[in-house]
Amino acid sequence: MKYRKIGLLISAEEEDWPTALEILFRRYNPPVVYNGEPLNVEIERVRVHPFDLRAGTSYHLVVDRLGHWQLNPREWIKKAALYNRVYLLNSPFTFQSMEKHSAYVAMMRLGLHVPKTWLIPLKSFPNRPGYEETARKYYDWFDLPAIAAREFGYPLYMKPFDGGGWRGVSRINNQWELMAAYDSSGQTMMHLQTALDNYEAFVRALGIGPQVQPMRYQPEQPQHARYAIDNDFLSPERRREIIAITKVINAFFHWEVNSCEAILKDGLMQPIDYANACPDMHVTSLHFYFPWAVKALFAWITFCLATDRRMRLDSNMEEYFAIADTDMGYWEKLAAYEALADRYFETERFNEFCQKHLGWLDEAVWEFVQTPEFDGIIWETVRYLFPPHEHEQFFHHYRGILNYWVQATASAAASGRSV
């Protein structure tokens, strides 16, 4: 029997998808018998403490949702990958790209339709030796309202170059709002980016390994209503495009749990935010799509462990840039990029693995969503995120949506379709 241990490195507010994943791995253990050998899986939550850089570890794979935000776990996962050969979701060596700026630049280099974006120097200088003196000597004076008027026009967006849950994002309608937002930015470095209004669709696509779920996103709605239940909001061609874009971004940076936001406007699929170290996976956000996320994560983890997939520490960015430098058109390049992404994710091998070894998973998740244990996950998440007087209301709200998912899934299975 092959033994493998999963670690969940998570933040305090995450109880829903980790609990669901833990229940599934404990209920269906071994999840597969691969090459005649049962895969025995243990799963636990990672603790943070001082560590010896030469220390061993009992983990074989870690789902990391904390390293991007906190320094101690960040350095531990780097050590675990380099010294212990632990498989990580996601790569800790492209964290700088997850600060949006280099992610924008790289995808512009590949020819994706990223909206015009400028980086603006800090409003306030950090209190570090030599910083202000250097800035005074070498930083050019600039006229921010003139840049906005000449290069962008209004409205536009100002947002931190490193992102982070809509932190510090401002919609700017005139030069007074521009200067007020800039003045309040302090020591946070900011981007200016073209606003894309009157669009045909706002897409948020969650990618887990080679699996991608495009969802219609409504940022103007409250948190619980931002993901619309609508599987037909994109044409088949546009759906394939956002799936390819998401896979390419994730494979390029070796991110295996990441979301990509894009706006379809004027016939162009324009990625606007696609570096998310901790993509939204709450049942209270994804609701209808939450079972897909848990199932996709279960399948990808199981594949990685059963096949002894090794984490790639090096990068093959030059292969993408070689395609970018050809005279191929957009769609040809995207197809060539996707082929590289599929090679990285071993997409064909993964699909065959799922068909052969995880054919039971759809029904298992369908049954799990109907259990009291799943009700407990909804209850605990609602209690954490909503005030007490709204607990009952929102529990029944989400339970109703998940009941609809159960019915829709059963109906789709009976007709040979997928939800």
Residue 63: strand, helix, or coil: strand
Tell me whether strands 227-228 and 211-217 are parallel, antiparallel or unpaired.
Answer: antiparallel
Following DSSP, what letter does each residue of 29-50 receive, concatenated?
SS--EETTEEEEEEEEEPP---
- pLDDT, residue 276, reads 87
pLDDT tens figures, 136-162:
888 889 999 999 999 999 999 999 887
Q: Which two tokens stand for residue 251?
A: 């494979």
Q: Find the mean pLDDT for residues 162-167.
A: 68
Listed residue (170, 192, 324, 151) closest to 248, CA to CA: 324
The pLDDT tens digits of the residues spanning 361-396 come to 999 999 999 999 999 999 999 999 999 999 999 999
Q: Residue 131's pLDDT band (boundaries 50, 70, 90)?
A: confident
Q: Which residues contact 3 (CB under 8 A, 6 or more apart)?
A: 40, 42
Per-residue confidence (pLDDT) for residue 164, from 0 to 100 = 64
Tell me the pTM.
0.93
Edge-to-edge strand ranges of the sheet holding 87-89: 33-34, 37-45, 2-9, 61-64, 87-89
Q: 259: which strand partners?
A: 206
Q: Are 160 and 170 in contact (CB under 8 A)?
A: no
- Domains present along the chain, CATH in parentheses: 2-96 (3.40.50), 116-194 (3.30.1490.20), 201-414 (no CATH)
- pLDDT tens digit string along 280-289? 999 999 999 9
Instruction: Tell me which residue has tokens 């994706």.
Output: 112
Which pLDDT score, from 0 to 100, does residue 415 have? 75
User: How, if at all, do strands 170-172 and 156-160 pair?
Assistant: antiparallel
For residue 5, the surrounding DSSP H or E stretch is: strand 2-9
d(CA 242, CA 263): 10
Q: In whole angstroms, what is the distance from residue 333 CA to residue 93 CA?
A: 26
SS3 content of the chain, % helix, strand, coil (to 5): 45, 20, 35
Cβ neighbourhood burial of 272 (10 Å; 0-12, 13-18, 19+): buried
CB proximity list for 55: less than 8 A, separation 6 or greater = none
